[in-house]
């Protein structure tokens, strides 16, 4: 791609607005900046678009959003889904409302009705809404937990999950075929509304969504019993979770919910957050300060599009608040649901729990303990959503719970994506049960460790930006494939799973078999002593990620084992 030629075209052509021309004039002569903005198209990948906001082909702007939507519209029309319409939601980021409208008006110009929320909403509510409305597709404008300069665009299909194979590749092909911006359609908003091609969504969807969430409550009487005593601190990280989280907790009867004031209202600059990510301990600074003032039992935070939940819980023995990984909080919710569904006779026939290959091995141990079928899928919640659809089509199983290590889970089938609102609700019910039984959430986590083993996981990531970065990431993956390690420190590689080549290799015998999962650029090393390591280039950031897990005899033992595994990986690299 001739980046200078593209830069000149965007800077001068009257198709692009005056603000775009002005922004691009300001970088004239800055060769590196021009190259970064124009050396490629912002890739419409399997999860949609995500990038820095700004003018250029490699940026998030109204033109790249329109272009992506035109490709999606072309695909919808070819699939005969034009009459079903598309639901659209957006978060609190810069340009989110504008991008949502640009997508809606492109769809409308193609004769496809757009249902657009009247204000910011969580990603899982979009998943619910498009199925409720019978739409063919859905769009969420969000960059999830990325820094403030980013925004993104996620595409969903009629089952409520993000588009999966082979449909994802087919949509990508349609987007790639839109090469001329003059081919991208749009129309006036007033005209779209007048033509019945732009409809605003609001309270009716919110109430229906809340009603579905409440179906996942197992013991409302437990919540009622401790409602006066349990204290919860919550931060929506200046995103979409504030209203729905407070509403559901209030309607369930929780009385002492304290919201971090500095992070309560939408703020596209995330002024008090370096990184609005529940995985980042620094993001909890203000929430923990409030928790200490209120003597809170638990501290909760949802990311800006409210599909992921982070928690801290009070350890009364030390007086400290203990951070929980997504694996830990997921296991607390999963074990509570499986235990109490079985105890109350509300477990469905042929129950199943679904997890990703980089999620804790504790998930399998808990599922097996409660007689629940355990299924592993590739990284990405759309693969969990795909399993729910498969269960419904075949009748083979009934979905009970699904989770991934990156702080995302789903109880129920009202949505087909991870849902931090239902996760908050389930976590708070579990915390209420702990309170009624005279223990903390941290106490209960220790009980699970003692019963199932001290599982611990970690992640090591290498960030490599730009053209050279992409090449370096590819070289690392090639090295791991062509010369795979036989040992990680004291741990022996038992099996290597190459999901890109669909090959599982037994490292002791050389025997090979198929992975049984879709193609993906992922390598998984199954190690001795119930340990593992997995390498995967990120689909949304310029990173290569290494996921690792171990099982220890105590917290200290597990921490030491995971430290040694991480050091062994770094040494190999």
Q: Which of 104, 99, 101, 102 is nearest to 137 (CA)?
A: 104
Please, which contacts does 193-198 make with residues 24 or more away whose CB atoms are closer than 8 Å?
A: 195/108, 196/113, 197/107, 197/108, 197/111, 197/112, 197/113, 197/114, 198/104, 198/105, 198/108, 198/113, 198/114, 198/116
Does 144 qualify as catalytic in the annotation?
yes
Burial class of 247 by CB neighbour count within 10 A (0 to 12, 13 to 18, 19+): middle
Pairing of strands 231-235, 298-302: parallel
- How far apart CA 488 and CA 532 sit, in angstroms, is 10
Query: What is the distance between the alpha carbons of residues 80 and 111, in angstroms, rounded to a whole number?
Result: 12
Mention every residue, 6+ apart, whose C-beta is less than 8 A from residue 341: 218, 347, 351, 400
User: Measured in Å, how far apart are the chain's first and last C-alpha atoms?
Assistant: 32
C-alpha–C-alpha distance, residues 145 and 415, integer Å: 20
Catalytic residue among 144, 329, 355, 531: 144
**Which contiguous run of DSSP H or E holds residue 355?**
strand 351-356
The arrangement of strands across the sheet holding 408-411 comes to 373-377, 351-356, 398-404, 408-411
CB 425 within 8 A of CB 249: yes
User: Which residues, including other chains, have CB under 8 Å from residue 103's CB and lie 6 or more apart?
Assistant: 65, 66, 68, 69, 88, 114, 139, 141, 153
CA 476/CA 535 separation, integer angstroms: 9
Query: Tokens 């598309």 correspond to what residue?
Result: 86
Active site residues: 144
């Amino acid at each position: 791609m001739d980046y200078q030629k593209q830069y000149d075209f965007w800077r001068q052509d009257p198709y692009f607005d005056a603000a775009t021309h002005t922004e691009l004039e300001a970088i004239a002569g800055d060769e590196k900046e021009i190259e970064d903005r124009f050396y490629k198209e912002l890739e419409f990948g399997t999860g949609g678009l995500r990038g820095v906001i700004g003018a250029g082909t490699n940026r998030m702007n109204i033109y790249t959003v329109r272009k992506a939507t035109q490709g999606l519209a072309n695909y919808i029309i070819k699939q005969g889904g034009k009459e079903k319409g598309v639901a659209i939601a957006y978060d609190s980021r810069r340009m989110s409302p504008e991008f949502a409208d640009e997508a809606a008006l492109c769809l409308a110009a193609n004769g496809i009705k757009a249902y657009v929320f009247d204000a910011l909403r969580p990603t899982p509510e979009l998943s619910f809404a498009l199925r409720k409305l019978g739409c063919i597709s859905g769009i969420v404008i969000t960059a999830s937990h990325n820094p403030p300069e980013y925004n993104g665009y996620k595409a969903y299909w009629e089952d409520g999950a993000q588009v999966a194979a082979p449909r994802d590749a087919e949509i990508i092909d349609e987007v790639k075929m839109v090469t001329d911006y003059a081919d991208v359609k749009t129309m006036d908003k007033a005209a779209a509304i007048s033509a019945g091609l732009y409809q605003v969504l609001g309270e009716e969807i919110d109430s229906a969504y809340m009603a579905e969430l409440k179906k996942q409550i197992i013991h409302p009487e437990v919540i009622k019993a401790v409602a006066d005593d349990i204290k919860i601190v919550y931060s929506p990280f200046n995103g979409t979770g504030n209203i729905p989280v407070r509403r559901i907790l209030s309607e369930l009867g929780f009385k002492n919910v304290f919201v971090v004031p500095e992070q309560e209202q939408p703020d596209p600059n995330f002024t008090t957050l370096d990184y609005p990510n529940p995985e980042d301990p620094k993001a909890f600074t203000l929430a923990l300060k409030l928790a200490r003032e209120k003597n809170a039992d638990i501290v909760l935070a949802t990311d800006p599009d409210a599909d992921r939940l982070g928690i801290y819980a009070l350890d009364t023995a030390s007086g400290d608040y203990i951070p929980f990984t997504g694996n830990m909080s997921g296991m607390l919710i999963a074990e509570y649901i499986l235990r109490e569904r079985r105890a109350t006779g509300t477990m469905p026939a042929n129950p199943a729990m679904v997890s990703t290959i980089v999620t804790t091995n504790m998930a399998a141990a808990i599922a097996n303990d409660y007689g629940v079928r355990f299924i592993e899928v590739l990284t990405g919640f759309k693969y969990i959503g795909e399993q729910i659809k498969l269960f419904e089509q075949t009748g083979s199983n009934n979905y009970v719970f699904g989770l991934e290590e990156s702080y995302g889970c789903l109880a129920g089938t009202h949505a087909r994506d991870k849902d931090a609102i239902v996760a908050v609700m389930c976590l708070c019910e579990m915390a209420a049960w702990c309170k009624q039984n005279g223990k903390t959430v941290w106490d209960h986590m220790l009980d699970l460790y003692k019963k199932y083993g001290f599982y611990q996981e970690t992640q090591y990531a290498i960030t490599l930006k730009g053209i050279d970065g992409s090449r370096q990431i590819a070289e690392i993956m090639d090295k791991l494939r062509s010369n795979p390690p036989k040992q990680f420190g004291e741990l022996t590689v038992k099996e290597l799973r190459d999901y890109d080549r669909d090959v599982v290799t037994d490292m002791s015998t050389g025997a090979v078999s198929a992975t049984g999962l879709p193609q993906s650029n992922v390598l998984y090393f199954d190690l001795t002593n119930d340990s593992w390591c997995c390498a995967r280039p990120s689909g949304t950031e310029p990173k290569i990620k290494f996921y690792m897990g171990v099982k220890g005899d105590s917290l200290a033992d597990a921490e030491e084992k995971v430290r040694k595994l991480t050091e062994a990986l770094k040494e190999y690299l």
